[in-house]
Amino acid sequence: MIALLQRVSEAAVQVNGETTGEIGHGILALIGVEKGDGEAQAERLLERILAYRIFPDAEGRMNLDLVQVGGGLLLVSQFTLAADTGKGNRPSFTSAAPPDEGRRLFDHVVARARRVLPETATGRFGADMKVRLVNDGPVTFWLQVPPAA
């Protein structure tokens, strides 16, 4: 599984003009599910998202995690993160999980996240979404938990 983390001062996602999720200071995590991913990868990825120290401490060092700073979490499914861009001018999505499996694992991440952060916001799986964010820093990280063998 893949997460593209962005430290934000605010972020929101809309579907058909309706805001489905928004946060203030926190993390916008775009989530991609690959073939072979399972609940173990979903849980490990969420652990890493929640524990990743990307917020500044009193000395300005990235030393604090999302929970420590009381930040919000906005999770948005994005199958294009699983694209193979190695050759040609058009991405291939052969490594992306099928939609039903992607939805199941994305929903699993959301449910687990809400156990720790009940106010976790989301987009809408499979929808055409408009994501608005103010990247704080900018600070952006790619996290990947390899699919099961």
Residue 116 lies in a domain: yes
Catalytic residue among 6, 78, 120, 122: 78
At 47, is the secondary structure helix, strand, or coil? helix
Phi-psi category of residue 119: left, alpha or beta, with phi > 0 → left and psi -120 to 50 → alpha: alpha
Tokens of 124: 């809408």
Stated as kind and residue range, the H or E segment containing 148 is none
Q: How far apart are CA 116 and CA 28, in angstroms?
A: 16
Residue 6 lies in a domain: yes
Alpha helices in the chain (DSSP H): 39-51, 66-69, 99-116
CATH of the domain at 82: 3.50.80.10
- Determine whether 85 is an active site residue: no
Mean pLDDT score across all residues of the chain = 95
- Determine whether 79 is an active site residue: yes
- Which domain range does residue 110 map to? 2-143
Catalytic residue among 19, 68, 80, 85: 80
Q: What total of structural domains would you count in the chain?
A: 1
- Split at pLDDT 50, 70, 90, the class of 146 is confident
What mean pLDDT do residues 49-62 have? 97
